[in-house]
């Protein structure tokens, strides 16, 4: 269990993020067209998992915009922006913002991604949503970077997350 904060208020998560060197579990997430995506869909590619509570908050939206911008020059890399938002909300945001370099996926059906990756908030005002985190995987699905953002209202460390991919 990790301890993070939201506006200085303590929040607990369901576990700990996968750490550098760990193999991550497979996942089932929902794409904007309501199809199911799994880690197998990205086999052989490096993957950035940008995870956050909701696309409808300023910091979450900013992280999607920044990863969209920074993903442009990354070779053999997919950036997946994951929340529990409905795919319809994610699609609206992508359309309104002209987001083209990242893929938004939803964990709305079961929340299992949040539980299995140890990042579901189990207390606090946003209980049930995902905490803010970034996990970077190599082509084999092994973690090469992991960050649990300690204060939900802060952005992730983009430079540290992308450094292993440059």
Catalytic residue numbers? 60
Determine the length of the chain: 166
Do β-strands 77-83 and 46-51 pair in parallel, antiparallel, or remain unpaired? parallel
Three-state SS annotation for the chain: CCEEEECCEEEEECCCCCCCCCECCCCEEECCCCCEEEHHHHCCCEEEEEECCCCCCHHHHHHHHHHHHHHHHCCCEEEEEEECCCHHHHHHHHHHHCCCCCEEEECCCCCHHHHHCCCEECCCCCCCCECCEEEEECCCCEEEEEEECCECCCCCCHHHHHHHHC
Do β-strands 9-12 and 3-6 pair in parallel, antiparallel, or remain unpaired? antiparallel
């Amino acid at each position: 269990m990790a301890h993070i904060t939201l506006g200085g208020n303590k929040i607990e998560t369901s576990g700990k993020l996968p750490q550098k060197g760990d193999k991550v579990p497979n996942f089932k997430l929902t794409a904007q067209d309501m199809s199911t995506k799994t880690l197998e869909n990205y086999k052989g590619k490096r993957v950035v998992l940008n995870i956050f509570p909701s696309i409808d908050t300023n910091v979450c939206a900013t992280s999607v915009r920044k990863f969209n911008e920074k993903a442009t020059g990354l070779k053999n890399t997919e950036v997946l922006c994951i929340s529990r938002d409905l795919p319809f909300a994610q699609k609206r945001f992508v359309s309104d913002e002209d987001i083209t370099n990242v893929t938004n996926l939803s964990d709305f059906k079961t929340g299992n991604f949040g539980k299995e990756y140890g990042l579901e908030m189990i207390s606090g005002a946003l209980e049930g949503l995902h905490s803010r985190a970034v996990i970077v995987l190599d082509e084999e699905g092994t973690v090469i970077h992991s960050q649990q953002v300690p204060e939900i209202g802060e952005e992730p460390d983009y430079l540290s997350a992308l450094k292993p991919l440059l």
